[in-house]
Structure 1
Amino acid sequence: MFPAAPTPRRVLPPAAGPPAPDTAVPAADAPGAGHRAAGQAVTEAARPAAGAGREAAGSGRDAFFDNAKYLAIVLVAMGHSWEPLTGLSRTAGALYMTVYAFHMPAFIIISGYFSRGFDLRPDRLRRLITGVVVPYLVFETAYTLFARWAYDDPDLPVSLLDPWYLTWFLAALFVWRLTTPLWRIVRRPVPLALAVAVLASVSPEVGDDLDMQRLLQFLPFFVLGLNLRPEHFALVRRRAARIAAVPVLAAALVLAYWAVPRMTSAWFYHRESAQELGAPWWTGAVMTLATFGCSLVLTGCFLAWVPARRTWFTVLGAGTLYGYLLHGFLTKGARSRGWFDGHTWLHTPLGEIAVSLTAAVAVTALCTPPVRRALRCVVEPRMTWAFRKEPVRQD
């Protein structure tokens, strides 16, 4: 929910920009620094984006995207904290389903947007390794050792091909980024990626290595991000979009409240085929397209209300990968210790509010600069010792 290499820069060239990371996730390399508006086609809707960029000029980052990443990671952490509450609370279940419909798609779209400039150039491959592969290896091992302790399972193997809990995102991001050059040259990349997702959703034979179902079913969001431009984000930041987002989100919550006892939220996890969810094979195609559309609408509503100006939490947007990777230890630790089962008051409305606030505060703390400084060696390592020096090019 969720960047590890150098963080994304403020402005991006129309065709290629720094690959991102998100959810945190590592921002890949940006080829250029200056973003030019496309000719004189800068509309009133696009001007707020330019203003936001100027506000962030001092830090070289776009405040809008940092704000979006921080708010998204807060929703990721809150969603994970609501999961133990959904069995006894229909309201918690509705909030959980609504948030799960768009929090990871939002992260993945932003990751794709910042990956537009990724190619197989040596410096970008180095950043892919240090910003994605190394954190994956470190945290996949750490989570497995943690699970051995938390669930008293000393025989649980360390498997780098079977992501545990949150690390699937890094594995998927690695593959998505490697395939970026392909998506940049094919015609109609988004429909093609949707076709891949649909085929995966009706194919229970897809293996579990690298959580392949999630990798393939979430692929359309990444490819969509690759094809977005600044003016597309400007569209959802207009006043009309903000106003429209309110009734749409309200309707989504009402629909989710109705759906809680009637359907499983597992459709939004995108980690299993339709057959594995006990549904007819053709349901996979229908639900893949339906959830894609639903996720896009809710992501647009979310982005419509993301502040474009610098706020107190803008600086935390640079540390969302830390919050994403670290909050899982708290979430899984609380569940393994039976906190939700042993404290029935947590299942009351006040308890649910307390759980939500605790999750938000905890993940916020994990995104702060002191945590980043302490753990940069494993989340954003430089590793200059591991790579050959590039020869100086002479023109």
Structure 2
Amino acid sequence: MPSPLTSEQPLPTAAAAAPETPEPSPEGRDHFFDNAKYLAIVLVAVGHAWEPLPGGRLVEAAYTFVYTFHMPVFILIAGYFSRNFELRPDRVWKLVTSLLVPYVLFEVLYTLFERAADKPDFALSLLSPYWLLWFLPALFFWRLSTPVWQAVRFPVLVSLAIAALATLSPAADGSLQVQRVLQFLPFYVLGLRMGPQHFELIRRPWVRFVSVPVCAAGMLVAYWLVPRTSTSWFFRKNSAQEMDTAEWTGPAATVLLFLAAIVLGACFLAWVPKGRTWMTALGTCTLYGYLLHGFVVRGLKYGGFYDDPFFDTTLGTVTVTLGAIAVMTLLCTPPVRRLLRPLLEPRMAWARQRTAVPPPRT
């Protein structure tokens, strides 16, 4: 099964044959999803580049607005392309090589980077994912759970209930960021339940028209929330107890954030181009940009780049934003993929069993 960030997309199904459905590309690839992945990964880079900025209410509001939906969109698309996942040895092996192997590799690389740049005693722990690496083991476990969600009734509601109850358990805040895995789970399950017709609905002209005032209202709500709540809620990695709030606020925040992410995510997807564009090829290499841009952001932070008073101004914020877009675009180019593909997408045929293990006798 391909990684969601560099996925080989399936052929369109009969459900996609609506009158407004664009002609599929010669290779059977729907470029809409490549475009969506590129734009979403750019928002990830912009959000990470904003983190070290001195602050300001407007920047914090934009940060909150983006964090409401950018990762949910990514995870929903990952679920959509996992609909046909089966627990076969070849599929599981593909998960290991495309998710777990890069995870271990980059845990080591980021640990060495932290020790060289800022923290000589920085510990290596595969059970405590480094900053942005939590997504790889999370997607591994989500994909393994796919058969469960394809069998259970009302899977989205069940997964949302699990996510809400997880906020009541401080134990989920520990190893492998289980809290985050459970709170983002409903978006993956929702993706599993979606079909091409749902994305066609999102791309209708009237949805695009309505999305403008909805996003404006969302930005105003984010601006209002900045002094009244913690941005940590949008990271979805802490229980209510860890957030030092009443227990009931955890489940309530989970449901509200889920609904807000669906609405804003639909508004975002409504404006994604349908056909091949200049960003389409970049959308096939987003795994590389995702894993590599952390070195740039943290390197600039440790190097004192953000200490310049210039970055406490509006022009400074715009400069950081444009720089993040440029860096992420560069890291998603096909030459970077060709150079690093043996590391990030290894085949590892030497480590795989060549013959199937016979089943146990009954």
Tell me the TM-score normalised to structure 1 length.
Answer: 0.87
Q: Does 1:204 align with 2:170?
A: yes
Deviations 1:56-82 (A, max 9, x none): 224x42110000000000000001111
Q: 2:260 aligns with which of 294, 311, 328?
A: 294
Equivalent pairs counted in the alignment come to 356
Aligned residue in 1 for 2:37: 69
SS of equivalent to 2:353: coil
1:211-250 alignment to 2 at 5 Å? 211-250=177-216
Aligned residue in 2 for 1:363: 328
Contact 1:112 1:225 in 2 (8 A): yes
CA distance in 1, matches of 2:341, 2:171: 38
Aligned residue in 1 for 2:271: 305
Aligned residue in 2 for 1:6: none
Choose between structure 1 and 2 for higher RCO, CA contacts under 8 A separated by at least 6 residues: 2
Contact 1:136 1:170 in 2 (8 A): yes
In structure 1, runs of 5+ residues without a counterpart are 1-18
Aligned residue in 1 for 2:104: 137
Deviation at 1:21, TM superposition (A): 3.4
Deviations 1:297-348 (A, max 9, x none): 000000000000111010001100100000011111111222112x111121
Q: 2:7 aligns with which of 18, 27, 39?
A: 27
Root-mean-square deviation (CA, aligned residues, Å) is 1.6
Aligned residue in 2 for 1:118: 85
CA distance in 2, matches of 1:181, 1:390: 25
Aligned residue in 1 for 2:231: 265
Deviations 1:337-362 (A, max 9, x none): 22112x11112111111100000000
1:80-229 alignment to 2 at 5 Å? 80-85=48-53, 87-151=54-118, 153-229=119-195
Deviation at 1:132, TM superposition (A): 0.7
Deviation at 1:191, TM superposition (A): 0.7
Counterpart code for 1:80: H
Contact 1:20 1:113 in 2 (8 A): no
CA distance in 1, matches of 2:259, 2:111: 35
CA distance in 2, matches of 1:47, 1:386: 47
In structure 2, runs of 5+ residues without a counterpart are 357-362
Aligned residue in 2 for 1:380: 345
Deviation at 1:259, TM superposition (A): 1.2
Deviation at 1:205, TM superposition (A): 2.1
Contact 2:7 2:284 in 1 (8 A): no
CA distance in 2, matches of 1:251, 1:47: 32
Moved more, 199-208 or 365-374: 199-208
CA distance in 2, matches of 1:107, 1:119: 21
Deviations 1:30-54 (A, max 9, x none): 7x6452227xxx5xxx444x31x52
Deviation at 1:20, TM superposition (A): 5.5
CA distance in 1, matches of 2:341, 2:2: 17
Contact 1:202 1:281 in 2 (8 A): yes
Deviations 1:236-294 (A, max 9, x none): 10000000000000111111111111111111100001111111111001100000000
Aligned residue in 2 for 1:37: 15
Contact 1:200 1:216 in 2 (8 A): yes
Q: 1:318 aligns with which of 281, 284, 303?
A: 284
